[in-house]
Structure 1
């Protein structure tokens, strides 16, 4: 993310120089620009003025950077977008090759449980990025003739060699992209990417070859048409059913998250809870659900949750029904956009790329992944550039406002660049200090010094406060730990925060508050043994024999979701405690 922000600064500098030295400045504003501006303005207004509280948000910083990136992309001529799309395909090929080398053992992955992650932190985002590139690569290959003709028509040098080179590049690089990513997809085991790839491929193939149109021309009777439609529906249902059972626990977990999130939406229907605040509230709702309904079978798929695994559901929970209406307005404008006939191919590719991201987002979290959002912004900017109905404003050298505009623009960007460079540099140092604090350490004093240094930067960041507070608790600085962890709850809430808070309250001899924190952790994820174990230890320390016996027997009779050494050791220690209370097991 830091590199992206630095990149935006460099682009800002180049863009500023371009404006300053231009003899004519041309502004083109489309309906897409206006719709997107209104949506981003509402998100900002809701986050900072309508909501009662907001925290540090990497996603919002990225949103600002992406908004600027969009503005710059809007100044790029349409003829250059084919090369931009080709660069995206090249990046996908590199990622696919990198992933295969990880699978073969030449490189380590970025996750201990998975062999293949590319340069991402787990296979999910990696698959999401690749499926977006897959759509672009397949679209460019299917419509290669149109794209090659467009690129060649805009070349100043029409030599035979350059024409052949352009033809070779725009035909074989997309083909290489399709092949390399088709090899990777099965190994990633991402159902969301498989569905997105299947749907986007069918859409592109239909738009190119019109298979369904041909079939329904051949099938003339109403009965035959109904039979074809029924067969397609049956195939679709069987496919979804198979994918659901392929990883049933994962599917059930997503359904449960959506179920709990609907309660959050019901409590905040108009404005939601604020942009990037889903993780602040969700676990409280999950804890309330299990506190009310007990340890149901859904507890087996419940865990700490940061994302809704459905971008639509999460968007509504954060931005409310007003945000949803504005989002639908943006989508309506996008797919109503008309372009010139010669630009139809790249228009189709851009719209299908958006469709791919949308489908993938129904089961995953693409709006948390910066590379996917960059592709999204490129597709949006391309469609805005293709829009035939635009408002244009020109400032030429003969106009007095041009010099004034250039001067104001230059001064504004100098001030902006200085402020942003200071902010980004501070952010960069803060992340490095935080990262250093998270590494293995010899003494708590050293790591706490790092946390203290980074605190002014990340004092509103839930994950940072959680790590800082837990370290304070482990170091025995209970009063400070309680302060930091109570602050963390304002921006994030997980079982880690609650158990660390319970430990701190227990260390400070505030046993009732410790019990409340441990109980909250248990209610968040009833399948976890650790909060129950901590409750037994607390009751044992406070000589609460009745609660010790109840909770201890619950642990020993509890079903195990995933067997582990930790659970075995917990049960052994519980047996020792029960022996002390003269309650031998059968």
Structure 2
């Protein structure tokens, strides 16, 4: 609704100006994140360069299109932004964004240069060109596989489990459910297939790395149909002689390719950018889905709800920003007194109670202060919004602290099946059974620790394996890692 109002109420030239101004904005703040690591930033760029790449991808494609199709100062300004953005895009190392940009560049090259030659080419020449394009595309994807095969295998595992869930739940699992519903599905998969070759590539996943599949996982087949219909509507918009609409379509094609291997539509920094991007598409629709009579009256009607939504959003985000600043002060050590830390969490809780990461941090500090039962109550709320195997481990440790050993074992096992490549869940199970005097069961877990393939060596892992070997060879003493 807000995007529709934006596309109808704001003149197209203003929207284009906003979109082109967003690129230097991202470059400025992204530069600070990449090279200085500004503390207290909430947009996630420092923690995840892929988000930075996803915000740059459509803007770099649009800047390249403007440089190709326009002349004068616009060409040179767009060309400069395109090259600077391309440099930052390469620095992020996001393969999905780079592939999407290559697709956009090839489409622009075809539309600007090759199309006039292909119109008069013979059938044989067109066939050779098509086969060459397919071979080059296959070679590109195979090269990406060889570059990081583990990452590709991890994505294949996610796609496999997500597709199976889509078959079992054709109506979906609920909006924004992937971040807390996928890992239990992954745990169930490895519980059924304990010897799966994918176990080495499993991780704490909170995105599907495929927008179409994640839409299906959350909204079912109806969501997939809506996704495809939206793309069909955008790609079939026609405004004769409009170079701007053509550039938007080429950029959208690059985004679509990148979205099959990443999550460009689900990052907070790009939300405003994509709102303007799709509002531009709507501004070109004059005779179909969103075309209504009375342009002047329509602008007034569209502007009022958009303005109200904007004011409400500013107030809401301002309140959340203030709470985030307080929470950030705790995370960065600016608040050191334990009572002040708890008071800060209690103050922020009514505002951030729907933020899984906030709840996880709150529960961790409660556990550190010895409030194990209260900590698990907060963890129970957090796992409904955000889940990883470390949270399950922490819940098991809290139950062990309260001497509820059956629940502790259950959560350690859940953590193990969630990410089978991790050693710590098995190590905690070994220690638990050794403490309870179940030496035979403890030795079973010790053998699993020693037999498991090491993915990332570390000193802590060496200590776990040494303690497991000592348990099998006789009594052990010493501190646990």
Unmatched runs of 5 consecutive residues or more in structure 2? none
CA distance in 1 between counterparts of 2:202 and 2:276 reads: 36
1:203 has 2:101 as partner: no
Q: Deviations over 1:163-195 (max 9, x none)?
A: xxxx32x12111112222333444332211221
State whether residues 354 and 379 of structure 1, in contact with CA within 8 Å, keep that contact through their aligned partners in structure 2. no
Q: What secondary structure is seen at the aligned counterpart in 1 of 2:463?
A: helix
State whether residues 20 and 59 of structure 2, in contact with CA within 8 Å, keep that contact through their aligned partners in structure 1. no
Pair 1:328–1:85, CA change in 2 (3 A): same
State whether residues 85 and 136 of structure 1, in contact with CA within 8 Å, keep that contact through their aligned partners in structure 2. no
State whether residues 89 and 174 of structure 1, in contact with CA within 8 Å, keep that contact through their aligned partners in structure 2. no
CA distance in 2 between counterparts of 1:444 and 1:539 reads: 33
Counterpart mapping for 1:448-467 below 5 A: 448-467=342-361
CA distance in 2 between counterparts of 1:501 and 1:119 reads: 29
1:108 has 2:108 as partner: no
Equivalent residue number for residue 317 of structure 2: 424
Equivalent residue number for residue 178 of structure 2: 278
Equivalent residue number for residue 38 of structure 1: none
State whether residues 127 and 190 of structure 1, in contact with CA within 8 Å, keep that contact through their aligned partners in structure 2. yes
CA distance in 1 between counterparts of 2:51 and 2:307 reads: 36
State whether residues 93 and 177 of structure 1, in contact with CA within 8 Å, keep that contact through their aligned partners in structure 2. no
CA distance in 2 between counterparts of 1:487 and 1:540 reads: 31
State whether residues 340 and 386 of structure 1, in contact with CA within 8 Å, keep that contact through their aligned partners in structure 2. no
Equivalent residue number for residue 333 of structure 1: 233
Q: What secondary structure is seen at the aligned counterpart in 2 of 1:472?
A: helix
State whether residues 125 and 369 of structure 1, in contact with CA within 8 Å, keep that contact through their aligned partners in structure 2. yes
Q: What secondary structure is seen at the aligned counterpart in 1 of 2:10?
A: coil
Instruction: Kindly state the Cα deviation for residue 511 of structure 1 after the two structures are TM-superposed.
Output: 0.4
TM-score by length of 1: 0.73
Q: Deviations over 1:452-480 (max 9, x none)?
A: 22222233332222222222222221221
Alignment equivalent of 2:330, drawn from 427, 437, 456:
437
Pair 1:349–1:88, CA change in 2 (3 A): farther
State whether residues 215 and 224 of structure 2, in contact with CA within 8 Å, keep that contact through their aligned partners in structure 1. yes
Instruction: Kindly state the Cα deviation for residue 574 of structure 1 after the two structures are TM-superposed.
Output: 3.0
Equivalent residue number for residue 240 of structure 1: 141
CA distance in 1 between counterparts of 2:319 and 2:358 reads: 16
Instruction: Kindly state the Cα deviation for residue 499 of structure 1 after the two structures are TM-superposed.
Output: 0.4
Counterpart mapping for 1:464-503 below 5 A: 464-503=358-397
Instruction: Kindly state the Cα deviation for residue 236 of structure 1 after the two structures are TM-superposed.
Output: 1.7
Alignment equivalent of 2:130, drawn from 208, 229, 238:
229
Instruction: Kindly state the Cα deviation for residue 349 of structure 1 after the two structures are TM-superposed.
Output: 1.4
Q: What secondary structure is seen at the aligned counterpart in 2 of 1:360?
A: helix
Equivalent residue number for residue 297 of structure 1: 197
Equivalent residue number for residue 140 of structure 1: 66
1:324 has 2:224 as partner: yes
1:529 has 2:423 as partner: yes
CA distance in 1 between counterparts of 2:317 and 2:26 reads: 28
Pair 1:120–1:70, CA change in 2 (3 A): farther
CA distance in 1 between counterparts of 2:173 and 2:367 reads: 30
Pair 1:82–1:582, CA change in 2 (3 A): closer
CA distance in 1 between counterparts of 2:274 and 2:306 reads: 26
Pair 1:357–1:288, CA change in 2 (3 A): same
Equivalent residue number for residue 349 of structure 1: 247
Q: Deviations over 1:199-258 (max 9, x none)?
A: 10111122222x15514634x254x54333323222221121111111111111111111
Counterpart mapping for 1:486-565 below 5 A: 486-565=380-459
Counterpart mapping for 1:87-106 below 5 A: 87-91=21-25, 94=28, 98=31
Q: What secondary structure is seen at the aligned counterpart in 2 of 1:74?
A: helix
Range with bigger deviation, 512-521 or 573-582:
573-582
Equivalent residue number for residue 182 of structure 1: 86
Equivalent residue number for residue 10 of structure 2: 76
Bigger Rg, structure 1 or 2: 1
State whether residues 95 and 118 of structure 1, in contact with CA within 8 Å, keep that contact through their aligned partners in structure 2. no
TM-score by length of 2: 0.88
Q: Deviations over 1:113-166 (max 9, x none)?
A: xxxx99553221222222222101110011114xxxxxxxxxxxxxxxxxxxxx
Alignment equivalent of 1:379, drawn from 267, 274, 277:
277
Pair 1:125–1:241, CA change in 2 (3 A): same
Instruction: Kindly state the Cα deviation for residue 395 of structure 1 after the two structures are TM-superposed.
Output: 6.8
Unmatched runs of 5 consecutive residues or more in structure 1? 1-66, 112-116, 146-166, 397-401
CA distance in 2 between counterparts of 1:251 and 1:82 reads: 36
Instruction: Report the RMSD for the aligned CA atoms in angstroms.
Output: 3.1
Pair 1:428–1:188, CA change in 2 (3 A): closer
State whether residues 275 and 319 of structure 1, in contact with CA within 8 Å, keep that contact through their aligned partners in structure 2. yes
